């Protein structure tokens, strides 16, 4: 779920960005007492996300606007189906239209892309599709919420949330063994230690250091299959690095626990949602 104080602050900031100097066109063209009705609808097949943000945009703009969500978060919409209906002062509908659409298009794009990866997992496999920290600055909370709406899972929320030793940590610390030893000494008893590896030699060193989770970075499917045999249940297995949707079925069939995909947030296309005036 999205915490209301967080989205209130985000929406408030974005309204200032768009309406800080008012809306010259709407105020000049539309009578102050005009009432309008509009529908936000899909113009392509998609997975919907962003209803709470759409609601908050108009709640802050004008409490007289009635917002009705016609689709649940994470619900599939076919082209032509409505997601939201709006009714209220015409000026307020016009002033909030673009911001509401920007949120819904961006978040629904993330949810739609995520769902395509989740649907590719081998039926019955426990493999989780997760996001990464490759998010738009300031929008991580809503982009990751959209990932979850698409059936995915969220990775660590920030740098303080977990120990994740990557290639530059290894280089700076003087090796995997040194990095893991220091991390284990500093971490709490409840903290699991994750280590990214990109060679079979590093994998052997990470397993010898008894890491909890190992990330196989940019391994081919063939190398992953061999690594799974070497790991043999001694660590949770995560795969990362330019993972295409076409690989998901085989990766999940291999028994990989987690596939982390930065593209879910950094490369998702905004889907086509439109807000059409009905009265």
pLDDT tens sequence across 73-118 = 999 999 999 999 999 999 999 999 999 999 999 999 999 999 999 9
* CA–CA separation, 228 and 234 (whole Å): 10
Average pLDDT value for residue range 181-200: 95
Average pLDDT value for residue range 247-260: 97
Q: Domains of the chain by range and CATH?
A: 4-114+268-277 (3.90.1170.20), 118-266 (3.20.20.70)
Q: Which pLDDT band holds residue 153 (cuts at 50, 70, 90)? A: very high
Which pLDDT score, from 0 to 100, does residue 238 have? 98
Q: Which pLDDT band holds residue 244 (cuts at 50, 70, 90)? A: very high
Q: What is the secondary structure of 115-184 as a DSSP string?
A: HHHHTTSPTT--PEEE--S---TT-HHHHHHHHHHTT-B---SSTTS-EEE-HHHHHHHTSHHHHHHHHH
First to last CA, the chain: 33
* CA–CA separation, 131 and 128 (whole Å): 10
Which pLDDT score, from 0 to 100, does residue 242 have? 84
Which pLDDT score, from 0 to 100, does residue 51 have? 98
Q: Is the pLDDT of residue 253 over 80?
A: yes
For all residues of the chain together, what is the average pLDDT? 97
Which pLDDT score, from 0 to 100, does residue 171 have? 97
Q: Residue 210's CB: how many other CB atoms inside 10 A?
A: 11
Q: Is the pLDDT of residue 125 over 80?
A: yes
* Closest CA relative to residue 100, chosen from 19, 3, 6: 19
* Tokens encoding 58: 């108009």
Q: Is the pLDDT of residue 279 over 80?
A: no
82 burial type by CB count under 10 A (0-12 exposed, 13-18 middle, 19+ buried) = middle
Which pLDDT score, from 0 to 100, does residue 61 have? 98
Average pLDDT value for residue range 151-157: 95
Q: Residue 266: which H helix or E strand, with range? A: helix 263-266
Strands 193-197 and 163-165: parallel
* CA–CA separation, 107 and 129 (whole Å): 17
Q: Which pLDDT band holds residue 2 (cuts at 50, 70, 90)? A: confident
Which pLDDT score, from 0 to 100, does residue 4 have? 86
Average pLDDT value for residue range 144-153: 98
The sign of the torsion formed by the CA atoms of 241, 246, 248, 252 equals negative
Residue 69, helix vs strand vs coil: strand
Which pLDDT score, from 0 to 100, does residue 3 have? 85
Cα angle 158-161-162, degrees, rounded to a multiple of 5:
115
* CA–CA separation, 19 and 172 (whole Å): 47
Residue 45, helix vs strand vs coil: coil
* Closest CA relative to residue 270, chosen from 153, 149, 146: 146
* CA–CA separation, 242 and 27 (whole Å): 48
* CA–CA separation, 238 and 28 (whole Å): 56
Q: Which pLDDT band holds residue 259 (cuts at 50, 70, 90)? A: very high
Q: Is the pLDDT of residue 40 over 90?
A: yes
Q: Is the pLDDT of residue 223 over 90?
A: yes
């Amino acid at each position: 779920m999205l915490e209301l104080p967080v989205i209130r602050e985000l929406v408030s900031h974005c309204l200032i960005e768009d309406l800080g100097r008012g809306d010259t066109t709407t105020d000049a063209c539309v009578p102050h007492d005009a009432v309008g009705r509009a529908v936000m609808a899909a113009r392509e097949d998609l997975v919907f996300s962003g209803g709470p943000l759409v609601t908050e945009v108009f709640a802050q703009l004008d409490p007289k606007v009635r917002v009705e969500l016609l689709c649940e978060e994470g619900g599939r919409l076919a082209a032509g189906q409505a997601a939201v209906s709006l009714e209220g002062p015409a000026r307020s509908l016009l002033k909030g239209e673009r911001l509401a659409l920007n949120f819904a298009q961006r978040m629904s794009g993330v949810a739609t892309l995520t769902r395509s990866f989740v649907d590719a997992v081998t039926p019955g496999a426990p493999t989780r599709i997760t996001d990464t920290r490759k998010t738009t600055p300031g929008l991580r909370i809503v982009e990751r919420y959209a990932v979850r709406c698409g059936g995915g899972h969220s990775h660590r929320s920030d740098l303080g949330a977990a120990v994740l030793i990557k290639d530059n940590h290894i280089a700076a610390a003087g090796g995997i063994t040194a990095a893991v030893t220091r991390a284990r000494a500093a971490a709490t008893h409840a903290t699991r230690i994750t280590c990214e590896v990109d060679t079979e030699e590093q994998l052997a060193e990470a397993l010898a250091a008894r890491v909890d989770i190992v990330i196989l970075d940019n391994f081919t499917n063939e190398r992953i299959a061999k690594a799974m045999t070497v790991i043999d249940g001694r660590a949770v297995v995560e795969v990362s690095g330019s993972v295409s949707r076409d690989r998901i079925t085989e990766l999940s069939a291999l028994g990989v626990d987690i596939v982390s995909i930065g593209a879910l947030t950094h490369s998702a296309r905004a889907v086509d949602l439109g807000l059409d005036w009905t009265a």
